Amino acid sequence: MNNRINTKMTTHQQKVVSNIQSFVKQKLANDFSGHDMAHIERVVRLAQLILEDEPNANYFIVILSAYLHDVIDEKVVFDVEVAIAQLHDFLQLQNISDDETQHIFDIIENMSYRKNLNHKRKLSLEGQIVQDADRLDALGAIGIGRTFYYGGHKHNIMHDPNTPPRTELTETSYKQPNTVINHFYEKLFLLKDMMNTTTGKKIAQQRHEFLVQFVKKFEKEWLGEN
């Protein structure tokens, strides 16, 4: 556990975070989709960065939600309902209050891009921070790497100029296979304008510009251009 977490939490909360880290590490040990423990740790660090400018946020809830945001995600787990039950039982063992548990579930069940396609879910300040941190890890150089990594994991082709990006997506259509490059147009290029926090918006702008330049160069090279 890093020193910043140590200084922001009680001894009990620090112990809970340590237990959560072990729980998540075990749950995601076999992930090869880009939602592994390395992703989780980056999201936690980004959430901490955003928290520096959000003094009214509940630090404990943000950190726990950042660690737990993928352990009940259908992209990662085989059975979502079982994963939810296991997480609920685990949180009870940590002596976390019912209100804190509900707050965490409200965040991690409603923050994903797909869950907000049909209508925007209302998130607490803590949820907005974790959502921003998670979306920032889908942008920039890391975002490019994760996008191609996930595309390969799902056996999607890299690019097909004859398959245009979809302009209207629903929760159902979003899950249908498409090309890796189309994912930039259908999701990643849109994230910059979906950020909640001032810090998230600032970082997203920088990472967004990197994505745009990469895709322009990729599409030229795909056609054999310099």
* Residue 102: CB atoms within 10 Å: 10
Window from 11-20, 25-34, 48-57, 111-120 with minimum mean pLDDT: 111-120
| Residues 65 and 107 sit within 8 Å (Cβ to Cβ) | yes
Dihedral in degrees, nearest 10, Cα atoms 200, 17, 153, 212: 10
The reported pTM is: 0.94
Mean local confidence (pLDDT), 45-52: 97
Quote the pLDDT of residue 4.
64
- Distance separating alpha carbons of residues 42 and 215, to the nearest angstrom: 23
Which CATH class, in words, describes the domain spanning 3-222? mainly alpha
Mean local confidence (pLDDT), 38-43: 97
- Top pLDDT among 115 and 133 is at 133
Q: Which residue has the tokens 């398959």?
A: 163
- Band (pLDDT 50/70/90 cuts) for residue 31 is confident
105-123 per-position pLDDT tens digit: 999 999 999 888 888 899 9
* Residue 214: CB atoms within 10 Å: 15
Half-sphere exposure of residue 111: CA atoms within 13 angstroms, side-chain side = 29
